[in-house]
Structure 1
Amino acid sequence: MSAAVLLRFCVLVLTAALIGTVSVQPAFAQDSTAEQTQDDPALLVADEVFVENEERLVASGNVEALQGGIRLSATRIIYDRSTDTLIIEGPIRITDADGNVILADEATLDQGFRNGLLKGARLVLDQQLQLASVEARRVDGRYTQLSRVAVTSCQVCGHNATPLWQIRAKRVVHDQVERQLYFDEAQFRVLDVPVFYLPHLRLPDPTLKRARGFLIPTFHSSTLLGFGIKVPYFIPIGRHQDLTLTPHLSTKARSLGYRYRRAFAYGDLEINGAISSDTLKPGEARGYLFAEGAFRLPRDFKLDFDLKLTSDASYLNDYDITGADRLSSTVDLRRVRRDELITASLVHYESLRDFEDNDTQPTIIGDAAIERRFFPAALGGELRLSAAVHGHYRYSSIPFDSADADLDVDGRDVGRISAEASWRKRWTLAGGIRAGVTTNLWLDRHMTFQDNTSVRDVARATHGVAVELRWPWERTGPRGQRTVIEPLLQLGYVSGQRPGNPNDESTRVEFDEGNLLSLSRFPAADRREHGGTVAAGLRWMHQAPDGWSAALTIGRIWRETADTEFTRSSGLQGTASDWLVAGRFAHQNGLTLSARGLLDDQARFSKAEARAGWSNNRMDLGASYVLLVTDPDEDRLEAQSEWSFDGEYRISQHWSTSTSWRYDLVDRRLDRVGLGLQYQNECVQVDFGATRKFASSSNLEPSTDFDLTVALKGFSTGGSAKEFRRTCQH
């Protein structure tokens, strides 16, 4: 064999060894990767290369071997063809395309490089996890056995530096096919102080995304449940589904949480729940079940569902699962195309409020609708045709109000069929005035059951027409600023009078920018506005060249006759509505402001909401305010006014804090307070949280909760350690 042929053969064999030593890909990908790498051009660079007796190739002095993203550097390489061994003298550094690194003082490998010995070996997996050992032995091209090992993801600078944490073990075996690390006689240390000992331990290496085993535990303390610990256990089931079981053991409760996930070719499914036994309700089995999924069906249909069940009204609050006081389970089918909309939904409501009876609330609600639009050449404009079916059901069968008060009938059930045809067209007049006309025809049939106070069957035909004028003015400045002012005016008329069907759908009316120019501001078809109306408004928008923008909308409605179905807080009572005022502001420095309110003639707000936010690289702050006046027609006997605040602030590269507050201005008390503190670096993340919840209902108890989570980075269960990696200063 010539020296050139021997040299090329040595480099190719050496490259195969590097792949077998460093690769952390699965077995089915490993062979193809090695084959592809060996087909790449190989290069061996050294100060001196020579052949001894046509059997030994020696490369010495700044030796580097490169092929297909694999790089090896060493002081000297000797390949002996007679014994099929490769001797590498260090310091040795082997790096693959994924950033995995092997460091060693010297190495001896056999033919195929499936077996061999590396002395003074140090492995760095995925640029995160460091495994330093006295020696490492390759076995069957799959396993790397390290003896007398120290494992950590903390940055270690200098020989005497002590990492924040480390795992010392007599032996560690890295299975590169399963991507697992097996420890024998493992000792966990913090600042080199032994904390606990485990005879055997298994952890996933940082490249494995789904591995069976325990996840990060959470220590939890609650005034309701006592002190306890949550230890999730993850179970992969094939490539497309998994199960996580989370035992929660505390001084006052025993609970088993679960989460099941599955990915399908056309959708996904997730189920969350828990089964609990505690001292709050002795002898009772408690729990909850949430299931949600989304699927793509044939013919462009999409199916979504979100199901929620709980054993009792206070369980979700006691176990801090959700703060919702009503649960809605929904199944939704829809198809959206350019000129067509088809929807169908089924909703089940469960109230957790102590003053609401689920038997007398509309509990099961079904809706189906179809809408299509056409552009007839003969008429011009746009023609829309739609049909809808609605029904809701109460569990109660009492056909009157058993509470003997001005409330809904206990057992009233309602069905409705509606159809609508509308035509609209727009023109541009002289001076840039935009004019438009809209005509509507509604056909409705209402059926009421189990109600002695209402007519059983009501049908009606209603038509409406609206003429709209807009006059947009635009000004552009020399520096690029842009201002738009647009006055709005609409004249509308809806025929007929209100039939005798009860108001069982449109009990809550919102007056905002979206329905300022609508012919009816009721949210459902069981109520429509009748008679003549005039709507006027003004819109202003400004875009500044230095990045800030602002907008303001002011509007009001006048009607021919007052509508008694509008409640006080709707802002639509009387012949003249309250003033609608809405505005927003945004600045490039991250500041955002938005507000909306209904202002009466005495300059008092009947309804208002505002939100402020400030976000940049170091903080994310938000505050909101809500005001609702007393309104017996909306079952609100007391005014509601509260403000809330939530924020996160990054104190330094490693420290961050968060908080959330909610304050009831009417009762002058805190409703909820939360504080959080987080520390993370390249090898650890510590999260601490404290929450105080104050009771706002007689079926809930106030509670104080503390949570502590410590995650070791560098393993796949603890998150990536790359983002906070430091650089040693020499």
Structure 2
Amino acid sequence: MKRLLALLLWLLPAVAVAQDSAVLVADRLFVTADERLVASGNVQALYEGTTLSAAQVTYDRAADRLTIEGPILIRDPDGTVLTAERAELDPRLEDGLLRGARLVLDRQLQLAANRIDRVGGLTALTGTAVSSCQVCPGRAPLWEIRAEQVVHDEVAQQLFFDNARFLIRGVPILWIPRLRLPDPTNVRATGLLIPRVRTTDQLGLGIKLPTFIEIGPSRDLTLVPYLSPHTRTLEARYRQAFLAGTLEVNGATSNDDLKEGPRGFVSVDGAFDLGDRLDLAFSGTAVSDEAYLLDYGYSDLDRLDSSVRLSRVGETALFLGEITHIRSLRDDDAEEEALPPVLGALSWDKRLAAMGGTATLRADLESFRRGAEGDIEDRRDVTRAGAAAGWRRDVIWGPGLVVEGEARGALDAYRVNDDPDRPGSLLRATPAAAATLRWPVVRHGGGGVSDLIEPVASLGWSGVYGDLPPNEDSRLPEFDEANLFALTRFPGEDAAEEGGRLSVGLSWTRQGPGFASTLALGRVLRTESVEASDASGLSGTASDWLLGGQLDLEGGFALDARTLLAGSLSDFDIGKTEARVDWSNRAINLSAGFLYLPADPAESRPDRAAEWTIDAAWTPSERWTVRADARYDAANAQPARAGLGLGWRNECVEVDVSVARRYTSTDDVEPSTSFGLGVNLNGFSAGRQARVTPGACGG
């Protein structure tokens, strides 16, 4: 019969005084004539979160020492596991000697040794084999490190190797006299990271050798030399966390055979809480030439935005101030000159309850400057100051009829420079109002299926009084379900709709077990023609028909599509169209999109554009992952980009292989193919955890 003994005064008097008692559980417990306490048979000892299991434990009070006979199992509070055949430890189970022992860190890395000495937070292992792979009898692990001695610093969370040999399936590959690696519980450690091989048509076969440098608890620096026959590149990333924000700086500098002179880029991102709900955010990118980011695979952006934003978000008010610098990387230099390089914006919004509804107040200031010479649009500068007030209320009337009323008035003052066709100062007022009726009708059928049909009609009016400003911020309006019944469909303030209009729409939502679908149709009819691009679907007195739908199925399938139909429903031309399909389950993640844009010189698109995009990942098991992505130019019947990746991992190693091809070309960039290879040994990388179930050992 087991006995439960709290070893207080007699066994651990010092511990008892500190009120940290040790507990001993055993089948047999007795005291010998020389005052030795012997516990045998299914022994378990607990002290300050550490648990010891053994066949027999003998406590020598005079020497203040525990002699333990195995098999021995010790679990520390941090999850470290020690096994041994025989041990001599202090009563706190911290310092001592273990023979025929095995140390397991964070359930990943196992260290087997002939002898383990534990002294003051240091664990020294003699004659050690280290691996995170499954060890099967009669077969060497996939990889292991053998060393004369390994010292584990529990405080620094580091492993120090002496005379280390790296073996693959028992075959020595590399010898290193001294080696330091982080243990798997260390999330930030200075040292070398996993190298990666990158091969491209332009730069050849190269290797990246990242080094992580911990500057302090809140700062770090990562340096990545990139070496190939055609380039010498140094990449860098600096990160710092503050009490009220974060800062990250990325950059690279290169000397290569592609262009003369040094090349490089630098980007900065930061966000800070200034107190009293005031936030500061900034980001910016500078690059030496238009092709650098693409040549080195850093980004495929063709326009770089650098901005500083100051915002304050309250319960009923919003303040925003922002300055943005834009640099175009496109081939069309004229377009870059017409694009304002510097924009500034300042706005204040307030929302409050009024007359049974919600009132909104807004004041804003916008300005931009161009520095180009030539056409008027290349050198025109505009500043706008505006004030607006709006009101909205929704009520339910009669047999479920939803009545929505809204009104808005805006006053804008413009200052135009370097445009002889317009006066320097302009003033314009734009009032608008609308009343919308919705009548949702619900039908419940058998099997849990329900239908919701909602006809909607909105009668509105907008007026424009005063001068006509240049249209700088409303050139690309979009027509979709979100603005079908809005007071205006222009994204900015420069352009405005005039006259009366009638917006009509009909939506049908059907739901049932395992599915949900929505189909919507709508159109806008006006008394006055709207000057907008033909492709927008908003030009003229009658807009295109807007048709949209969504479908969600049980099992992770989703479809979302929208198109514009020009003409009548019986005789129509397809306009702007977009569709997206997503399918996600335990093994598959698939996302495919289609975009079609008709030709429209007003949107700087002389030819039609159509493109397919696909992103897919297949995980047939926890060990294998297959990834694929592609962009296909359907208008020109040629691929734009394609990529394929293959990943394999087990409990101790991860291998990732990838290939990517970019087919497009410009004056500065040629098509290229790149290959990547990465190998990671689980158990050492800081902060990484491999939780792959090991396979069974063969018989």
The normalised TM-score by structure 2 is: 0.95
Counterparts of residues 98-109 of structure 1 (less than 5 Å): 98-109=78-89
**More displaced 10-residue stretch of structure 1: 260-269 or 675-684:** 260-269
Q: Which amino acid aligns with 2:102?
A: R
From 571, 581, 606, the equivalent of 2:547 is 581
- Contact kept, 8 Å, 2:7 with 2:21, in 1: the verdict is no
Q: CA deviation at 1:685?
A: 0.6
Q: 1:500 aligns with which of 468, 472, 475?
A: 468
Q: 1:561 maps to which residue?
A: 528
Contact between 1:552 and 1:583, CA under 8 Å: does it hold in 2?
Answer: yes
Distance, in Å, in 2 between the alignment partners of 1:715 and 1:615 is: 32
CA shift, 1:354, in A, is 1.0
Which of residues 37, 44, 50 is equivalent to 2:24?
A: 44
* 276 and 444 in structure 1: CA distance in 2 versus 1, 3 angstrom threshold: same
Corresponding position: 1:297 with 2:297: no
CA contact (8 A) 2:235 2:252 kept: yes
Shift of 1:477: 3.6
CA contact (8 A) 2:9 2:16 kept: no
1:638-680, CA deviations, whole angstroms, 9 ceiling, x for partnerless residues?
1111111110001222111000111101221110010000001
Equivalent residues of 1:10, 1:79 under 8 A apart: no
What is the rounded CA distance, in whole Å, between the counterparts of 1:327 and 1:661 in structure 2?
Answer: 23
Distance 1:356 1:610 in 2: 32
1:268-293: CA deviations, max 9, x gaps?
Answer: 111111111111113x1111112112
> In the alignment, which of 167, 189, 204 is matched to residue 167 of structure 2?
189
Q: Which residue of 2 aligns with 1:20?
A: none
Question: In structure 2, how many angstroms separate the alpha carbons of the residues matched to 1:12 and 1:303?
Answer: 58
| 1:608-632: CA deviation from partner (whole Å, max 9, x where unpaired) | 1000011000010111000111111
The correspondence for 2:361, drawn from 382, 385, 401, is 385
Deviations 1:184-210, CA, capped at 9 Å, x for gaps: 111111111111111110001111111
Cα distance between partner residues in 2 of 1:76 and 1:438: 84
Q: Which of residues 533, 541, 563 is equivalent to 1:597? A: 563
Correspondence 1:446 to 2:414:
yes
Aligned to 1:32: none
2:582 paired residue number: 613
Amino acid at match of 2:268: A
Q: Which residue of 2 aligns with 1:120?
A: 100
CA spacing shift, 1:458–1:308, aligned 2, 3 Å: same
Residues 111 and 576 of structure 1: is their aligned pair in 2 closer, same or farther, counting only changes over 3 Å?
Answer: closer
Shift of 1:551: 1.2
Query: How far apart, in 2, do the equivalents of 1:174 and 1:660 lie?
Result: 43
1:513 partner SS: coil
Give 1:298's aligned amino acid: G
**Aligned pairs (5 A) from 1:94-173:** 94-109=74-89, 115-139=95-119, 141-158=120-137, 160-173=138-151
Corresponding position of 1:411: 379
Give the counterpart of 2:594 among 608, 625, 649. 625
Q: Hey, what's the Cα distance between the residues in 2 that align with 1:620 and 1:5?
A: 56
Structure 2 equivalent of residue 404 of structure 1: none
Percent of aligned pairs with the same residue? 43
1:670 is aligned to 2:639: yes
2:265 to 274, 288, 310: 288
Residue aligning to 2:61: 81
Q: Distance in 2 between matches of 1:337 and 1:76?
A: 67
1:241 counterpart letter in structure 2: R
Is 2:430–2:496's contact at 8 Å kept on the other side of the alignment?
no
2: CA distance, partners of 1:104 / 1:110: 16
Distance between the aligned counterparts of 1:311 and 1:37, measured in 2? 69
Shift of 1:423: 2.3
In structure 2, what is the Cα distance between the partners aligned to 1:512 and 1:268?
37
* Residue 551 in structure 1 maps to residue 518 in structure 2: yes
Report how far residue 425 of structure 1 moved: 2.7
How many Å apart are 1:427 and its aligned residue?
3.0
Q: Structure 1 CA distance, aligned partners of 2:298 and 2:17?
A: 51
Q: Tell me the CA shift for residue 246 of structure 1.
A: 1.0
- Give distance in 1, aligned partners of 2:170 and 2:114: 18
The whole-number CA distance in structure 2 between the counterparts of 1:107 and 1:501 is 88
Change (3 A) 1:4 1:93: closer
Provide, for residues 658-715 of structure 1, a one-character-per-residue CA deviation record: whole Å limited to 9, x for no partner.
Answer: 0011110122111001000000111011111100011242221111101101000012
* 1:414-493 to 2 correspondences below 5 Å: 414-477=382-445, 479-493=447-461
Structure 1 residue 57 displacement after superposition: 2.0
Cα distance 1:659–1:111, how it changes in 2: closer, same or farther (>3 A)?
Answer: closer
DSSP-derived class of the 2:482 partner: helix
Shift of residue 121, structure 1, vs aligned partner: 1.4
In the TM superposition, what is the alpha-carbon distance from 1:5 to its structure 2 partner? Answer: 10
* Residue of structure 2 equivalent to 1:538: 506
1:431 aligns to what SS in structure 2? coil
Give the structure with the larger strand fraction: 2
Compare 265-274 and 577-586 and name the one that shifted more: 265-274
Whether 1:322 aligns to 2:295 is: no
Name the stretch that deviates more: 121-130 or 260-269.
260-269
Name the structure 2 match of 1:58: 38
The letter for the 2-side match of 1:183 is F
CA RMSD of aligned residues (A): 2.3
1:498/1:530 contact within 8 Å kept:
no
SS of residue paired to 1:569: helix
SS at match of 1:510: coil
**Alignment partner, residue 713 of structure 1:** 682
1:191/1:497 CA distance change after superposition, 3 Å: same
**1:502-521 maps to which residues of 2 (within 5 A)?**
502-521=470-489
Q: Which moved more, 1:178-187 or 1:650-659?
A: 650-659
Report the AA paired with residue 494 of structure 1: S
**One-letter code of the match for 1:350?**
R
The 2-side partners of 1:681 and 1:322 are apart by 32
* Aligned counterparts of 1:456 and 1:121: Cα–Cα separation in 2: 87
8 Å CA contact retained: 2:6, 2:24: no
Deviation at 1:86, TM superposition (A): 2.5
Residue identity in the other structure for 2:246: D
Alignment equivalent of 1:277, drawn from 246, 255, 274? 255
Q: How does 1:168-247 map to 2 (within 5 A)?
A: 168-247=146-225
Measured against aligned partners, the alpha-carbon deviations of 1:296-337 in whole angstroms (never above 9, x if no partner) come to 222212222221111110111001011111111122222233
- Which position in structure 1 is the counterpart of 2:285? 308
Q: Tell me how many residue pairs correspond in the alignment.
A: 693
Asked if the contact 1:625–1:643 (Cα under 8 Å) also holds between the matched residues in 2, the reply is: yes
> Distance between the aligned counterparts of 1:36 and 1:566, measured in 2?
85
How many Å separate the matches in 1 of 2:287 and 2:70? 64
The secondary structure found in structure 1 opposite 2:366 is strand
Q: Is the 8 A contact 1:662 1:671 kept in 2?
A: yes
Aligned letter for 2:164? A
Instruction: Return the letter of the residue paired with 2:26.
Output: A
Contact 2:11 2:61 in 1 (8 A): no
- Quote the Cα distance in structure 1 between the aligned partners of 2:541 and 2:17: 81
Aligned equivalents of 1:657 and 1:295: distance in 2?
Answer: 39
Could you tell me how far 1:494 is from its partner in structure 2? 1.5
